[in-house]
Structure 1
Amino acid sequence: MSALDWSILFGTLALIVGYGVYKTYGPSTMERYLKGGNEMNWWTIGLSIMATQASAITFLSTPGQAYSDGMRFIQFYFGLPAAMILLSIFFIPVYYRLKVYTAYEFLESRFDLKTRTLAASLFLIQRGLAAGITIYAPAIILSTLLNWNLTFTNIFIGVLVIVYTASGGTRAVSITQKQQMTVMMGGMILAGILVIYMLPVKFTEALHVAGKMDKLNIVNFDFNLSDRYNFWSGMTGALFLFLSYFGTDQSQVQRYLTGRSLKESRMGLMMNGFLKIPMQFIILFIGVMVFVFYQFYQPPVFFNQVQVEKLQESDYWTAYQELETRYQATFEQKNTQIFDMLDAVKQEDAAQTDLLRSRILDSAKEQESIRKQVKELILKNDPLGETNDTDYVFMRFVMDYLPKGIIGLLFAVIFSAAMSSTASELNALASTTTVDIYKRSINQHRASGHYVKSSKWFTVLWGGFAIAFATYATLFENLIQAVNLLGSLFYGTILGIFLVAFFMKWVRGHAVFLAALITEAVILLIHFNNGGELLGVPINIGYLWYNAIGSILMLVISAIIQLGMPKKRKKK
């Protein structure tokens, strides 16, 4: 990167961190530190909610996922507006009426202390690991692209977040997220405009190319439990995921508990519900346009340059060069076919268009076959080598083709996204540890200032844990899927506890506690046997369904246990 890019990158990060510390520095009460003094308006809440969910993984993985898999990931968000409406009706009024600091306080008033502690502990496990992934995910890619040491990159991101999050708590997180969202979406939209401008064909022709190559596959109504992304998984499995994430995950609950009123919090949630889908559509569409760009300009045969450089120093370099030559020849053949197809489209020759489309798809399959052989070489050279390069697609394009200054801005986008989501997670982890574990069960009846200090220390401790986990983590198949998978393992059980609390008033604490333990065990058994058999039954379920399965199991098992319990005799 140029000196201008480095200046923009570090200048942006320094301004965000400095602004967060400056605006929130000074003495603070628990109310102000954990709930921002209930001073946030609806649009700040909405931006904070969106920034919390829009991690660096969103901006790294989503364009790459669209590049390889098209637009169908957008279906994951179809259930979001319905989830926001349900939460505004049933969840938020209860939290405001009880004036809770965390969502899990409500569970003790409804059930008992052990159920509250269990739900809080499940959240701490899931979100503590997720915080590590949200640091690790961008760090491994940024360290590769910038030629930084991975451990240093993990520490750099983590320390930046810890500084202003520990300093100002929830208020610091919320006010910095406004600047971060501006940088993130401004940078991505600018990148999208530039990639469209750089295309050698008209925008309408680019859409024809994307459509004919199955990249504009926005909606799929086929019902298939093993399919991760279709209309039905988005409206059911993902709906349960969003209900749990936004309704019971403290990293999101804490965002709207800062509202000036119930109305402001509801409006912030609804803003997220109706802007998140367009936001994801834009990011996915940018990925599709990058795909179209690489139909006219030859893409790398493998996008992770570090792995290619390792091959260069090995005995497999000659074999790699031969594959690269074949890849280039296939690309040139496909490129000619694409221009011929566009001519056929102009002439409204449907038969010729279909014929050329078939040839183009065959050429694309040949390219993927060559890429597969390259991945095999990488593994032969290094059995632990990382062969999934979709997360590198977008930033490789940025570094290779975008002008100076814009590159630094796009790297600032990724760092800002990493900071915004990680800050919310550390803030929520510290709040839950302080309120639901430390203050409730370990050290009660201390002054407000004591718990503010403990929250700051827990922020530092959880930040250290996240950095440590990030340092020793391994790369998943796809980073954005890794976070959703991790959440799906726990969210169904947590949401089920809350659904029982809201809608099954006759179920008591002991029943729901036992049901939660059983349900979580079943979900973990399903996951670790997915693709195989469980008790002789074949298991092949997309992970988004874990959320619905977990929630339904909680309702059913809680009811069965409660009905099976002996009724207490009334005293005469």
Structure 2
Amino acid sequence: MKLPVADLSVFFIYMLAIILFGISFSFRKRSSDDYVKGGGKIPSWAIGMSVFATFVSSISFLALPGKAYLSDWNGFVFSLSIPLAAILAVVFFVPLYRSLQSNSAYYYLEQRFGLWARIYASAFYLLTQIARMGAILYLLALPMNALLGWDISTIIILTGVSVTIYAMFGGIEAVIWTDAIQGIILIGGAIATVLVICFSIPGGAGEIFRIAEEQHKMSLGSFDFNFVESTFWLIFVYGLFINLQNFGIDQSYIQRYITARNNKEAVRSTLFGSLLYIPVSLLFFFIGTALFAYYQSMPGLLPEDLRGLENADKIYPYFIVNELPRGITGLLIASIFAAGMSTISTSINSSATVILTDHYKRYIKKNLSAGGEMKVLLVSSLIMGSTGIGAALLLNGVTSALDAWWALSSIFSGGILGLFLLGFISRKVTGKFAFVSVVTGILVICWMSLSPFFPAAWEGMKSTFHANLTIVLGTVTILFTGFVLTLLFSGRQVPVSK
């Protein structure tokens, strides 16, 4: 598919501008602390936009409209769980991490349970980020292949190298400021889509709501209580646990807390960024519903091979290329890249921080010079960016491997939330009890995550729970095991070091 020169120009100008802008931060004189924390100079609104951009990936940009086009707004319930998780974050997590005087989220776990907990959490965080970057780069390349007609591997390498360059040289300042710009472009692109649909569909916005109501497209799902179907309550609980993991133990978010000038600005940026995701995700779901109404009203505009619901994820890319005004198409393609690039740049920077703080300075050389720390951060960023590109290239064309990677990602990160909550909630749980609890929880997570890949002969051993309950049941297992072991075998109190 060949795009007009105007759209390609918008896209390439954006890509070049964002790379040069990110690199420009490397010309400032700064220490490794500035590279990791921004020197306390970044305003709270920019940090908040970065929190928001960390929430949104290119998958969200395309998958949420596809979900709404295919079914309803059940997935939006995930966003409704954010306020509760955000309140817990600003009341408990933000003050905790800002008081620890460490750039790493996992220093707390060492203080609470011992070195093994820090090694486990930080190592599995890095594995999770590799899986995350690989999956996002690959899934970003699929629609871009349809939009631009470029080779998938070329798109992966182009995107990955671009992000790695500015994330590596620019540090956290480059990541946050480019995130802020990309977040604004992303929102602008979504609003442009809604306006075009509303002004183009016969009957205007009223027709969209009429068709949506007639087809039950805005339903939030069943309010029944069960563990198999994607009900309102299942998605809400899943969203709550995922967001507690994000706010409580994900270095990508915690690094935003410590970047802020003070506690007040950290709270403000966390609330702003997290709560902004709610109306924006609603906008994405509305786009999917509006596209459904648009092509219901004018079915002749949709090619025969895209009319089946199994092609729901392809509708928005098709609309972007064929229905939007020239130039706006380029903006939307830039928005898709923006969503992916912001997530990947965050992973690169936070992973480099973890490598320096939790591994290099812990095991290799504790007393590094400022120049030595900067070298480790630069090399670590390059390694993580390159590894993410490599993971994406390995996934190219292997759909089943992609599903396996997401299952492994659940295994890598699922036990960390339970470990953190176990230490945060109870002062009596010892390191030994926590270790047994985590192993038990990971076994549950592995069973649920890998069940779809069990051979037919193991049918009776497969999990019957909804896949979204993996992190919920894994975390609950860790907490339950830790509390029971403490109740049965220990009566003494273990102080918490801060």
TM-score, normalised by the number of residues in structure 1: 0.80
**Residues 413-441 of structure 1, C-alpha deviations (whole Å, 9 max, x = no match):** 01111111100011111111221112112
SS in 1 for 2:304: coil
Q: Counterparts in 2 of 1:186-197, with a 5 A limit?
A: 186-197=188-199
Quote the residue 2:422 is aligned against.
500
Say which of 9, 19, 22 aligns to 2:21. 19
Residues 449 and 62 of structure 1: CA distance in aligned 2, closer, same or farther (over 3 Å): same
Quote the residue 1:414 is aligned against.
336
Whether 1:180 and 2:102 are equivalent positions in the alignment is: no
**How many aligned residue pairs are there?**
485
SS in 1 for 2:368: coil
Residues 566 and 99 of structure 1: CA distance in aligned 2, closer, same or farther (over 3 Å): closer
Quote the residue 1:363 is aligned against.
none
Whether 1:272 and 2:273 are equivalent positions in the alignment is: yes
TM-score, normalised by the number of residues in structure 2: 0.91
Q: Is the 8 A contact 1:240 1:492 kept in 2?
A: no
Whether 1:36 and 2:38 are equivalent positions in the alignment is: yes
Quote the residue 1:4 is aligned against.
6
Whether 1:541 and 2:465 are equivalent positions in the alignment is: yes
Residues 482 and 72 of structure 1: CA distance in aligned 2, closer, same or farther (over 3 Å): farther
- Counterparts of 2:462 and 2:132 in 1: how far apart (Å)? 29
**Corresponding letter in the other structure for 1:448:** A
- Counterparts of 1:448 and 1:391 in 2: how far apart (Å)? 48
Q: Is the 8 A contact 1:107 1:498 kept in 2?
A: yes
Q: Is the 8 A contact 2:407 2:449 kept in 1?
A: no
- Between 459-468 and 119-128, report the one with greater CA deviation: 119-128
Whether 1:243 and 2:244 are equivalent positions in the alignment is: yes
Shift of 1:201: 2.2
**Residues 263-304 of structure 1, C-alpha deviations (whole Å, 9 max, x = no match):** 11111111133222111001110111111111122323334x
**Corresponding letter in the other structure for 1:192:** V
Quote the residue 1:294 is aligned against.
295
Coordinate RMSD, CA, aligned: 2.5
SS in 1 for 2:353: helix
**Residues 80-104 of structure 1, C-alpha deviations (whole Å, 9 max, x = no match):** 1000111111111111111120110
Quote the residue 1:252 is aligned against.
253
Residues 19 and 561 of structure 1: CA distance in aligned 2, closer, same or farther (over 3 Å): same
Shift of 1:147: 1.0
Quote the residue 1:377 is aligned against.
none
Quote the residue 1:380 is aligned against.
none
Whether 1:137 and 2:61 are equivalent positions in the alignment is: no
Q: Is the 8 A contact 1:50 1:276 kept in 2?
A: yes
**Tell me, which stretches of 5 or more residues in structure 2 are unaligned?**
493-498
Q: Is the 8 A contact 1:78 1:234 kept in 2?
A: no
**Tell me, which stretches of 5 or more residues in structure 1 are unaligned?**
304-366, 372-387
Q: Is the 8 A contact 2:445 2:471 kept in 1?
A: no
Whether 1:108 and 2:96 are equivalent positions in the alignment is: no
**Residues 295-340 of structure 1, C-alpha deviations (whole Å, 9 max, x = no match):** 122323334xxxxxxxxxxxxxxxxxxxxxxxxxxxxxxxxxxxxx
- Counterparts of 1:11 and 1:509 in 2: how far apart (Å)? 53
Whether 1:456 and 2:456 are equivalent positions in the alignment is: no
- Between 443-452 and 134-143, report the one with greater CA deviation: 443-452
Q: Counterparts in 2 of 1:533-572, with a 5 A limit?
A: 536=460, 539-562=463-486
Q: Is the 8 A contact 1:130 1:486 kept in 2?
A: no
**Residues 511-531 of structure 1, C-alpha deviations (whole Å, 9 max, x = no match):** 212321221122111222259
Q: Is the 8 A contact 2:410 2:449 kept in 1?
A: no
Q: Is the 8 A contact 1:111 1:508 kept in 2?
A: yes
Quote the residue 2:316 is aligned against.
394
Q: Counterparts in 2 of 1:219-238, with a 5 A limit?
A: 219-228=221-230, 230-238=231-239
- Between 212-221 and 120-129, report the one with greater CA deviation: 212-221
- Counterparts of 1:291 and 1:464 in 2: how far apart (Å)? 39
Say which of 137, 150, 153 aligns to 2:152. 150
